[in-house]
């Protein structure tokens, strides 16, 4: 036990020397130091132990405060990340809703266009049918026109023949009249 006491005293003295520095570190004026804690002087072992414990508590509080500051900083960082993720997620959901609405609107437009296409196809079929009927009517009209042209050519040649025959008959009639008139003149004379 004799060896234990000097070692303990030396350890306490080392703690006390840092503890007294802790009193000074706290900024306590030196005139208050001897009678600081209920009449315990700064040089006594009790004061040194109390200061050392107080200093350790202060260091622990400081460490804990630094740890809490670090935790709060990380929390703040994560909260900002979460906030930006929420904003980006809201933007993505808004964009997806817009795309879905556009898709639905596009589907409605497609249905409208399909209806227009079907009505236009029906109109095309009707126009094709009209074209076919008009083509048939045109062919019939061309055939009739060709037949009428041939008939009119035939009639024209017949008319020319008749005119030529009429002319011939008139000439004969005239020549006969001239003959009769000469023969009448001869009879009268």
| Residue 186 tokens, joined | 């001869």
Helix axis angle, 4-25 to 45-188, nearest 10°: 50
Q: Is pLDDT above 70 for 126?
A: yes
pTM: predicted TM-score of the whole model, two decimal places: 0.36
Query: Per residue in 49-95, pLDDT tens?
Result: 666 666 677 778 888 888 888 899 999 999 999 999 999 999 999 99
- Helices (H), strands (E): how many in the chain? 2, 0
Alpha-carbon distances of 1 from 6, 8, 17, 45, 186, rounded to whole Å: 9, 10, 24, 19, 207
Query: Residues 163-187: what's their mean pLDDT?
Result: 83
Query: Residues 109-117: what's their mean pLDDT?
Result: 88
Domain boundaries, the chain: 4-175
Cα 79 from Cα 72, distance rounded (Å):
10
Confidence class for position 23, pLDDT limits 50, 70, 90: low
């Amino acid at each position: 036990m004799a060896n234990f006491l000097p070692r303990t005293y030396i350890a306490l003295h080392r703690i006390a020397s840092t503890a007294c520095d802790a009193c000074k570190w706290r900024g306590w004026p030196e005139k208050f130091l001897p009678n600081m804690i209920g009449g315990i002087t700064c040089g006594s072992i009790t004061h040194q132990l109390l200061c050392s414990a107080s200093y350790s508590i202060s260091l622990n509080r400081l460490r804990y405060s630094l740890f809490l500051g670090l935790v709060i900083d990380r929390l703040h960082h994560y909260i900002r990340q979460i906030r930006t993720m929420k904003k980006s997620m809201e933007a993505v959901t808004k964009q997806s809703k817009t795309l879905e609405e556009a898709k639905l609107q596009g589907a409605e437009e497609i249905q409208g266009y399909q209806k227009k296409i079907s009505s236009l196809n029906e109109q095309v079929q009707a126009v094709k049918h009209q074209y076919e009927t008009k083509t048939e009517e045109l062919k019939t009209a061309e055939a009739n026109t060709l037949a009428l042209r041939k008939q009119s050519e035939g009639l024209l040649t017949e008319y020319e023949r008749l005119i030529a025959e009429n002319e011939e008959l008139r000439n004969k009639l005239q020549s006969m009249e001239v003959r009769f008139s000469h023969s009448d003149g001869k009879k009268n004379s």
